[in-house]
Structure 1
Amino acid sequence: MANTPQSKKRARQIERRTEVNKARRSRIRTFLRKVEEAIASGNADAAKAALLAAQPELMRGVTKGVLHKNTASRKMSRLSARVKALSA
C-alpha cells in the first residue's frame, strides 16, 4: 500500500494511465478485428481498406508505448500477407 505522498500520487497516475492504455489497446484490437472480418468474408477491397486504416493505429500504439515495435511490425506483416494472398 502506498504510504508516502509521492507513492500515493504515482498510484493515482498509474490508475489514469492504465485506463488510457486500456482504451487505446481496445481501439487497436477493433481495427485488427475489422481486418480479420474482411479477410474472412473474402472481400479483398474491404480487407485492403481495413488494413490501411489499421496500420496507423498499430504504429500509434507503438509510439504511445502500448505495443512493442516488433509486435506491431509482426502483426502488420502477417495481416498484409494474408490480404495480399486474398487479392491474388
Structure 2
Amino acid sequence: MANTPQSKKRARQIERRTDVNKARRSRIRTFIRKVEEAIASGNADAAKEALRIAQPELMRGVTKGVVHKNTASRKISRLAARVGALGQA
C-alpha cells in the first residue's frame, strides 16, 4: 500500500490511466474485429474500408503507448494481406 503522499498520488494517476488505456485497447480490438468480420463475410469492399479506418486507430494506440509499434505493424500487415487475398479471389 502507498505510504507517502507522492506514492498515493501516483496510485491515483495509475488508476485513471488504466481506465483510459483499457478503453483505448478495447476500441482498437473493435476496429480489428470489424475488419475480420468483413473478411469473413467475403465482402472485399467492406473489408478494405474497415481496414482503412482501423489502420489509424491502431497507430494511434502506438503513439499513446497502449500497443507496441511492431505489434501494430504486424496486425496491420496481416490484415492487409488477408484483405488483398480476398480482393484477388
Aligned to 1:5: 5
Deviations 1:24-76 (A, max 9, x none): 00000000000000000000000000000000000000000000000000000
Supply the AA of the counterpart residue of 1:41. S
Q: Aligned partners of 2:2 and 2:55: how far apart in 1?
A: 39
State the TM-score, normalizing by the size of structure 1: 1.00
Give the aligned CA root-mean-square deviation in angstroms: 0.2
Supply the AA of the counterpart residue of 1:46. A
Aligned to 1:79: 79
Runs of 4+ in 1 over 3 A off after TM superposition: none
Q: Aligned partners of 1:71 and 1:28: how far apart in 2?
A: 12
Supply the AA of the counterpart residue of 2:23. A
Aligned to 1:48: 48
Gaps of 5+ in 1: none
Gaps of 5+ in 2: none
Deviation at 1:4, TM superposition (A): 0.3
State the TM-score, normalizing by the size of structure 2: 0.99
